[in-house]
């Protein structure tokens, strides 16, 4: 279906591009935000990325999925954005979507938390990760990209992706366990 839309857009039916915007805007924002850590800049990167994708659609190679190609544009645009000096460096981790609760087997204390509490602790744990770890977790768990696709999007070797996923999960597990233990002690 996407290849049909791409062909129609190239032939001049630009209204079909709205399908891609609606399909990929949330994950594109999530990826950009994970790298940049600033809401306004992430929104700007997403808009710029859609514009770049639209202008370059005729160059899209059909040997990969559109999403992989587009997310690579988002990653590259995000990395370019953080290399430029900024006046406002803020951290808006609290915009992480509730659907993005990705930690597995953290323990019974975590399972008994409300969704709002879970989100709070996930925000804290994600804050402990660097942008690359947040990006890889987002692509793999939230967007359900394969290791190969994450590698293609980020330009990082597959073996390195696997190792970074393992380390990021461990970091989040440690942070969550520490926070939950300290909260339990405070309550008791």
pLDDT digits (tens, 9 = 90+) for 120-130: 777 778 788 88
User: What's the pLDDT band for 179 if we cut at 50, 70, 90?
Assistant: confident
CATH level 2 (architecture), domain 1-88:
Orthogonal Bundle (1.10)
Angstrom CA distances, 158 to 34, 104, 121, 146, 164, stand at 20, 22, 29, 10, 10
First and final CA of the chain: distance in angstroms?
A: 56
Q: Is the model's pLDDT at 29 over the cut of 90?
A: yes
Chain region(s) in the chain for CATH 1.10.1740.10: 1-88
The mean per-residue pLDDT over the stretch 16-34 comes to 92
The CATH number, out of the four listed (3.30.2310.20, 1.10.10.10, 3.40.50.300, 3.30.70.260), of the domain defined by the range 96-188? 1.10.10.10
Residue 99: predicted pLDDT? 35
Res 85 pLDDT > 60: no
């Amino acid at each position: 279906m996407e290849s049909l839309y791409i062909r129609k857009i190239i032939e001049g039916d630009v209204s079909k591009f709205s399908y891609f915007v609606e399909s990929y805007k949330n994950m594109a924002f999530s990826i950009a935000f994970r790298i940049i850590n600033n809401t306004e800049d992430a929104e700007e990167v997403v808009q710029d990325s859609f514009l770049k994708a639209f202008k370059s659609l005729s160059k899209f190679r059909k040997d990969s999925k559109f999403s992989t190609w587009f997310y690579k544009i988002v990653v590259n645009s995000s990395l370019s954005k953080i290399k430029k000096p900024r006046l406002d460096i803020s951290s808006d981790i609290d915009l992480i979507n509730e659907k993005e609760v990705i930690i597995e087997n953290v323990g019974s204390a975590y399972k008994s938390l409300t969704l709002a509490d879970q989100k709070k602790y996930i925000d804290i744990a994600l804050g402990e990760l660097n942008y690359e770890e947040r990006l890889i977790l987002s692509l793999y768990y939230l967007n359900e990209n394969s290791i190969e696709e994450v590698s293609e999007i980020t330009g990082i070797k597959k073996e390195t992706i696997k190792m970074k996923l393992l380390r990021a999960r461990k970091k989040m597990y440690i942070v969550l366990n520490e926070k939950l233990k300290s909260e339990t002690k405070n309550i008791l």
